[in-house]
Amino acid sequence: METVLTAIPASSEHERLLLVLVQAPEIGSRIELRQQSFSQSIGWFTQSTIPMEPGQVATLRNALGLTGGQQAARLPREFSKVPAAPSWQPRVVQAETA
């Protein structure tokens, strides 16, 4: 089972990062960071995937200073701001049979 946790817009409206929780009995749980692109003909598609085990996610959170609900003093302020409006909008893509 996959659950999209968030979509992070990139500098181009045709690029984004997708943060996905993947849960399967055979592999357990992990987070995947997927770099996606948008094409008019096929919609959003994944260019590359970085699988992250729970320990790696915890290490990343610690490195970013996200433990205990506190903001990291060592990160520039811009890393704590979420854009007011996303630069991408979801699009419904439909395929018709021939």
The identity of residue 61, as a single letter, is R
Report yes or no on 10 lying in a domain: yes
Q: Are 47 and 35 in contact (CB under 8 A)?
A: yes
Q: Find the domain containing 16 and state its range.
A: 2-64
Report yes or no on 89 lying in a domain: no
The pTM (predicted TM-score) of the whole model is: 0.64
Report yes or no on 79 lying in a domain: no
Indicate the number of domains in the chain: 1
Report yes or no on 87 lying in a domain: no
Q: Give pLDDT tens digits along the chain (98 positions).
A: 888 988 999 888 999 999 888 888 887 788 899 999 999 999 999 999 999 888 888 888 877 776 555 554 555 555 555 555 555 555 555 556 54
Domain containing residue 22: CATH number: 3.10.450
Report yes or no on 34 lying in a domain: yes
